[in-house]
Chain A
Amino acid sequence: MTDTHPTTDGDGHAPVTVEFLGNWRNAAYNCFSSGHKFCREVCPVMQVTRNESWTPTAFHANVVAMEQGELTVEDVAEDYVNCTQCGACELRCPNTLFTGDFYRFRTRTVDLVKQMRALAVDNGIHQPGYQRWNSLTDERTHEPVLGSYDNPVPVSQQHVRDWADGLDLPTGGETILFVDCEAAFYRTSVPRAVAQLLRKAGYEFGLMREQWCCGGPAAEMGYRDQSRRFAEHNLADWRASGVKRVLVLDPHDYITFTEDYPGYFGADFDIEIVLVVELLAQLIADGKLTPTVPVERTITYHDPCRLNKRKGIWQEPRQVLRAIPGLTFHDVDRVTQWSYCSGGGGGLPVEKPELTKKISAARIEKAAELEVDTLVSACPWSERPLAEAGAAQSIDVVDIHELLAESCGIEVGGSTGS
């Protein structure tokens, strides 16, 4: 509780920290000197903790304090765990809303959180959960399955295609389907639904030759060297097998491939990345896929943060849902959903599962108010915490691809994890 001033010359920081502070100085001041906190009530972590230390404003102010020599990376590192990287704060920020158009300025809290976590790792400061998660990922080339450290789901290169058992899918080709770790090893019904839908529509694709984790989670938790190594492996594998197009069913992978990979590889990254839910909406519109089996459910749709808030993708999932006969759809507009989150992203469930639980319970509460029996999502990472919270309210959590497959008469198989 004593007030120590760690760096009287302001340069007591490690060189990597000084560089970081130089990069973020003005962006941090833009938030600090505005000081208005419109981000706060849309932030999923703030909504459940009410803790001002864990807000986008604080995340920027800490940078100013570090620059002033008032705080060190050791002081702040742990606070940055409290973020799902959903991006709501960036959208709600007055600096984004009102100067963004003209100056192309956008508050970049997600990037700040990622880089601060990386700075911590670069300074040798590790969060135990993140460290373990990433070391297991490094060992197995895939992420562990949450909550199964002791009795592990077999996660390894040998098992990465187990989800496709019996589907007889080819490997390789110009277009491959990339299946994220959560879907490949836990909610296997999602990739099974996607593969069978694409096959039904006559869309040709293969599986990846040697798929490793996309590397995105490592980047989200600050382990950027590992992330880069994984990215290099995957890109090399794609190049070696002549891949031109990668189909992605998980919004987290979609962010990694469209933001992190171009960051790593620059203009050399010429692989086309296709989001499966957008492709399916197109196939339906083109008449190549027609859902005909009525699905008698009363649903609402959960806009996955990485699609809605980070990529502006909200129309296509709704087009898919409106094409499914039998559904009663109580929709909630995408802007209201800026303040919704499953709590499953950004490594939060790895370090703070209790917060993930509160956030998903709050999200399910919103669905319950609409008197629906089903919450549909389009993100496997959201579906586990939401399903757990949904069980308490008798609300089924279903993946949009699973639902579409059912309406196309496909017997999906696999596991929903429940």
Chain B
Amino acid sequence: MTAQLTDQVLDELVAVLGKDYVLTSKTARMNRARVPAPFPVHRWRDRVPDLVVMPGTTAEVAEVVRIANTHRIPIVPRDGGTGLTDGAVPERRGIVVDVKRMNEITEIDLENRTCTVGPGINMLKLNEVLAKHGLIYPDNPASYPCSLVGGRIGTSGWSLVGSRYGHTRDLVLSFEMVLPTGRVIRVGDGGGLKVSKSSSGYQLKHLFMGHQGTLGIATEATLKLYPKPETEFSPFWAFADFESAYACLGQLARAGVATFAGAVLFDEWKVDYLRRDDEAYIPQPADVRALVCAVCYGNDDEVRAGGKRLMRIARDMGARYLGDEISQGDWAARHDRYATPLHGRTKEGQVAPMSWHCEDAAISYTDLAAVRIAWHDIVARLRDKHPIFDDWGMFFYTSADTGVDYLTEIDVGIWEQELDDAAWAAWVDAKREIAAVALRHGGSISACHGSCREGEVDLVPEELGGGYDVMLAVKKSLDPNNIMNPGKYGLQRAYEGES
């Protein structure tokens, strides 16, 4: 327990929230200590918060933050808790501020095509409501059925269909932030709630996207809405080798098809793994060693025209179209597939219950092939030392409509029940090496999952250079007492030398 977390603090919190929403039970605290990223289970207790609060309004969040700031108690914002970089994991105990109750839709503006929601709403649930108006909020992570809008802001989420609609940073027009002192501000492009482009003042929206809970808590967001697509087209193509799939992927992404929402390449490790251990995957003949899937969304006539163009490009590039079954079956399942396997194989081939973990980076197209070789090497060396790891192959997803950069991801199976301190240390080393490769190739440590976990976080100052010093200055200026999610991104450096 943090020394400052006294009965007086508890009384103050209960006075603000009522006792039903100040949770002190061990189960309440332990179940808010984790995210899906693997972690040695025997160290679970190191990350358990002192208590959990469940505010229902912005004013309550602000009051909780003020109390914590006055008493210098760490705060960890928690939305869905589905992130992969430990943003929602309490590293210094303190108070978890769980905003799931704040899930109301306060406005749907049909004329301007926006809606305003609480941070605790899930995108799938939101889209169930928007569908009645023929609209969609197309923020579409693999965690679409469970992640929440506020967490998408805190992590600057990446969307599978971002090449068509943009990512969270593009789709959230403005939002309300409770700063570490308890002050409430609205950030967007300029000052308006429903403005997508402004050139007035500093552009603060980006600053408060992806801060991993270190700069405050988002409490309301105004979102950009699109017409619900009439049609989806999701062809799968097979290739005999990675190189031809890679060449085709580049052509598809550079084609300038307006309804193109994304493309993904599976390398031969991935295809092998799917063939071996993923029962949901529709099997392909042995001569298939790489796959590319593309997806288009939009009005029926436009999707048809764009789809024809993509099909022509793929054919010219030597791709083999795999038919409608896999298109319907596999693309539809794609969102759910990040949790797929219950098992992998040890080096000796023993089937073992394994959890899935992926390391990702943002890499420009021209560097994908080299990064791929280097990453598989790192995981092979890890597997040599610790057979509880398994290489589940790589994906390359388009991030943008021009094909400039890709979410590059290597999936690693981890037999978590066997994860001890030595294996964990080797894993952290491997993560650091994976991040170093990304930087050597001019990329960014993460396109999607974040970079504040053990291992890669050490390289963030190198990645950002002088920008990291600005991060430190901003952190200290907005959070003078370092109460917001302390320990993340190495930001404690901003306070070094203080008593």
Contacts and interface: CB of A to CB of B under 8 A. Distances in A.
Interface of A: 1-3, 5, 26, 29-30, 32-38, 40-41, 50-53, 55, 57-58, 61-62, 64-65, 68, 70-71, 75-76, 79, 92, 94-95, 97-99, 101-103, 105
A38 B50 CA distance: 27
B307 interface: no
B336 to A, nearest CB: 5
Interface in B326-367: 333, 336-343, 353-356
Given A37-B80, A58-B27, A71-B30, A98 B336 contact: yes
Interface in B32-73: 32, 34-38, 41-42, 44-45, 48, 50-51, 54
A36 B143 contact: yes
19 contacts: A29-B417, A30-B342, A33-B416, A34-B355, A35-B35, A36-B338, A37-B82, A37-B146, A38-B339, A41-B122, A51-B54, A55-B31, A64-B41, A92-B145, A94-B336, A98-B340, A99-B280, A99-B340, A99-B341
Given A41-B125, A62-B27, 18 more contacts: A1-B24, A32-B41, A33-B416, A36-B338, A37-B146, A50-B103, A52-B28, A52-B31, A52-B81, A53-B27, A53-B32, A57-B31, A64-B41, A71-B27, A71-B30, A99-B342, A101-B279, A103-B279
Contacts of B34: 35, 61
Q: Is the interface of A mostly helix, strand, loop or mixed?
A: helix
B471 interface: no
B280 A101 contact: yes
Contacts of B101: 50
Nearest to B281: A98
A74 to B, nearest CB: 10
A38 B146 CA distance: 5
Interface residues of B, number: 59
Interface of B: 1, 5, 10, 23-28, 30-32, 34-38, 41-42, 44-45, 48, 50-51, 54, 78, 80-82, 98, 100-101, 103, 120, 122, 124-125, 143, 145-146, 278-280, 333, 336-343, 353-356, 414, 416-417
Given A70-B44, A101-B279, A61 B1 contact: no
Contacts of A58: 27, 31
Contact of B416 (A29, A75, A98): A29
A98 B333 contact: yes
Contacts of A35: 34-37, 355
B82 to A, nearest CB: 6
A1 B353 contact: no
A32 B340 CA distance: 14
Given A41-B124, A41-B145, A71-B30, A2 B1 contact: yes
A68 B36 CA distance: 18
A79 B27 contact: yes
Nearest to B147: A37
Given A33-B38, A34-B356, A95-B339, A50 B120 contact: yes
A62 B50 CA distance: 17
B1 A34 contact: no
A99 B336 contact: no
B1 A1 contact: yes
Contact of B36 (A5, A29, A36, A64): A36
Minimum-distance CB pairs A-B, first 5: A102-B279, A35-B36, A33-B355, A94-B339, A50-B100
B41 A71 contact: no
A97 B31 contact: no
B353 A30 contact: yes
